[in-house]
Chains A and B, each alone.
Chain A
Amino acid sequence: MMNFRLIHDSIINILGLAEAGRFQTIGFQRQTKAVEEAVDNSRMVTVFYSAGNFPKTSAGLTGPVQHDITFRVELLVAKPATADIATINNPASTPAQKLAALAALQEAAQRADGSMDELIEIVYQILMDARNVDMGLPVGTVASRWIPSFQKDEPRPKGDLVQLTAAATLTLRTAEQIAGDPGVEGANIINNTLDIPGNTENITGVLIDNA
C-alpha cells in the first residue's frame, strides 16, 4: 500500500483515539450529512485525501518519488438555541421570571460559532501535536507536516437547527516507492486426474488385441 493511504488511515486512527466523546471522525467524503447527526458532541470531523503532487525526479524507474500530500479536513457543527424552558413553561413562574428567561435565550448561531471554535482548537492541537509528528508511522515516513489555515463558513439555518462548517488543509510530504501494480490474483489452475469410468488405470489409447 502506498504511504498516503497508510498516512490517511493513521490520521483517522489518531483522531478516533482522541475523540473522548467530543466529536466523531469520518474517513471519507459523505454525499449528504443530516444536520441532526452533528448536533452538540456529535459534531463531525471528516478527513480525506484531497490532492497529491509528484515533482518530477530522476530517481529511476522504481522510486522513491516525493509525494506532496494534501488532506482536506472538514468540520461540521449544529446547534439548537438554549433557554430556561423549565421557567418559561412553569405555570407558577411570574411574567418577570419568564421575561428574564427569554432575555437570557442564547441563539443557535452563537452557540454554533462557539462550538466550532472549540472544535478547531481540538483538531489543530491533535493533528499538530509534537507526538504526532510522524502521524503514528515509523520515523521518517512523514515530513513537513503543517496546517496552513482554517476557513470558517457562514452559519446556515437547516430546519430547526443552525449548521456551521469549516475546512482546513493538512499538508505532508512522504516518499513513495513504485513497485508496479500487482494485478488481481487469478483463478487457480486445478490439475485433475482424468477419470474414465470402467478404466482402472486411467489411461486413454487404443487397445490392440493380438490374440
Chain B
Amino acid sequence: MSNLRVRAAQDAKTLNIKDWGLLAELVGPDGIVYNTDAETGEPLRTTQQLYDRTRIIPETGEDLIVSETISCFSRLSLERIPQAGENWAIRIQESPTNETLVDYVLSPTRAPEGGKSLEQIRLYLQKVEQSP
C-alpha cells in the first residue's frame, strides 16, 4: 500500500493531466524519442502548459503579457528526466485547442526546476529554427 506522499504525487499527475494536460514529445540527448507516458503507456502529456505570463513594466506599472513557454511534466511520466546542460528537443501543442506540435528546445539559460515534493518538473523552452 503506497503512503500518502506517493498517493499525493500520483494524484497530482492524474488530476493535472485530466484537467490541463496537452500533448508533448521529447527527444533526449541520446536521440531517443519519448512520446509515451512511462507509467501508463498513453501519449505523453504535460501536467501544465503555459504560453504567456504577465510582467509588470517597471517604469509605468502597467501589466504586459509576454510570450514565455513553460512545460510542466510529472516525473512519473518520464523515462528519462532532463538535466541542466543537456540538449533536449521538445514538441508541444501550438495552443490548447490546436494539437499541431511545434518545435522548441530546452533553454540552456534556465535549468529545469525541481518540484520533487509532488514529482513535478518544470522546463523552460526556447524557440528553435532550422539550421542552415
* Chain A residues with a Cβ under 8 A of chain B: 32, 36, 80-86, 88-89, 93-109, 155, 157-162
B 88-132 binary contact with A (CB < 8 Å = 1; else 0):
110100000000000111011110000000000000111111111
Chain B proximity of A17: nearest CB distance (Å):
28
Chain A proximity of B93: nearest CB distance (Å):
15
Q: Which residues of A contact B68 (CB under 8 A)?
A: 159-160
Docked CA distance A124–B64 (Å):
34
In the assembled complex, 13 residue pairs joining A and B whose CB atoms fall closer than 8 Å, in A order, are: A84-B131, A85-B103, A85-B129, A88-B27, A89-B103, A93-B31, A95-B32, A98-B27, A102-B88, A157-B109, A158-B66, A159-B68, A160-B127
Task: Check if B126 sits within 8 Å of A160, measured CB to CB.
Answer: yes
* Chain B residues with a Cβ under 8 A of chain A: 27-33, 57, 64, 66-69, 87-89, 91, 103-105, 107-110, 124-132
Task: Check if A83 sits within 8 Å of B31, measured CB to CB.
Answer: no
Docked CA distance A108–B109 (Å):
9
Docked CA distance A95–B31 (Å):
4
Contact residues of A: prevailing secondary structure: mixed
Q: Which residue of A lies closest to B52 (CB)?
A: A159
Q: Which residues of A contact B64 (CB under 8 A)?
A: 32
Besides A80-B128, A85-B128, A102-B87, 12 new A-B residue pairs in contact (Cβ under 8 A), listed by A number: A32-B64, A36-B67, A83-B89, A88-B27, A88-B89, A88-B103, A89-B91, A94-B31, A105-B87, A159-B66, A160-B67, A160-B125
Q: Which residues of A contact B132 (CB under 8 A)?
A: 82
Task: Check if A157 sits within 8 Å of B130, measured CB to CB.
Answer: no
> Contacts A95-B32, A106-B131, A157-B109: A80 and B126 contacting too (C-beta < 8 A)?
yes
Task: Check if A99 sits within 8 Å of B30, measured CB to CB.
Answer: yes
Chain A proximity of B52: nearest CB distance (Å):
8
Docked CA distance A83–B68 (Å):
20
Docked CA distance A101–B88 (Å):
10
Q: Which residues of A contact B29 (CB under 8 A)?
A: 99, 102-103
Docked CA distance A160–B68 (Å):
6
Task: Check if A82 sits within 8 Å of B31, measured CB to CB.
Answer: no
Docked CA distance A95–B32 (Å):
6
Task: Check if B31 sits within 8 Å of A102, measured CB to CB.
Answer: yes
